[in-house]
Structures are given as C-alpha cells and as structure tokens.
Amino acid sequence: MLLLILSVSCSKKNEIESIFISDKNEYWLAHDYCNNSGGNCYQFKKNGTSDLYLMFVDRPFFRLFNSDGDVINDPEPWSIKNDSTLVWHDGVYKIEKLSRREILLSYYHYDIKGRKCFVRLSKWVETPPGPRPADSLDKIR
C-alpha cells in the first residue's frame, strides 16, 4: 500500500514538473500583480534550474539575460514540493492554477503582513514572425 502511495505521489510531482519545463522555443512570461511588474521570461530546465530571458521585437526574439555586464543572475534553482508548491528564486509559491498555457502562483508579501500576492506565468513561443502567446497559436491552427 505504501509503495502505491509513493508511486502516485512521484508521478503527480513528475506531471507538475513536466508542465513547468520549457521546450527549446518556449518561455514563461511572468507578471507579479503585487508589484505590478512583468516582462521577464523564464525557461525551466529538466536539471532543476531556470534561466532568465528578455523578449525583443528583433531577432533573436528571446535573449538570455543571466548576465548583463554588471548584473549577473546565475541560473536559479527550482523544485516542486508537496505537489502544490514551487520553490524558486529563494521564494515559496503556492500553485493556484496549473495548465500547459498558464500557471497562477501565490505568495505572501515579504513586507506587508498577511497580504497575498499573485504571479501569473503565461507561456510564449518563439515563431518565425515573432513571439506569440501559446494560446494564440491554438486559435491559428
């Protein structure tokens, strides 16, 4: 019985991780609603790290931004804990909504006690004409 529970738990964790993991031309665009900030894109890798990218209108559309002269961001570690929590960027985020096109995360504000904040990750794809939200590609096909 214990073996069955462990195998179900591991497969659930693997399924959640597979949604976060980005293919070569896929990126997660982040928007933090508490800070009203966004524009950074991330690729979550199978090896448990994520890279920071910026989106541009010219080619290449997505550029690795882990290092920009005086600013250096090493690949950030990430992991799934308890099938409902993303540990990433030295933060802990509850997974509120999870699909292959959009992920909604929540966390409690570091400065304002009890304030629940949300971060939306929406999947973007690099296409020949330029970056497009992944859900817009479904409408074209």
pLDDT tens track for 71-118: 666 789 999 999 899 999 889 999 999 999 999 999 998 887 889 999
pLDDT digits (tens, 9 = 90+) for 40-55: 999 999 999 999 998 8
Residue 7 has pLDDT above 60, yes or no: no
List, in order of start, the domains of the chain with CATH numbers. 2-140 (2.40.128)
Q: Please report the DSSP string for 69-97 in residue order.
A: TTEE-PPEEEEEETTTEEEETTEEEEEEE
Give the pLDDT confidence score for residue 5 in this predicted structure: 45
Query: 38 pLDDT band (50/70/90 cuts)?
Result: confident
Q: What is the pTM of this model?
A: 0.84
Give the pair of three-digit tokens for residue 110.
């570091």
Give the pLDDT confidence score for residue 141 in this predicted structure: 46
DSSP state of 47: T
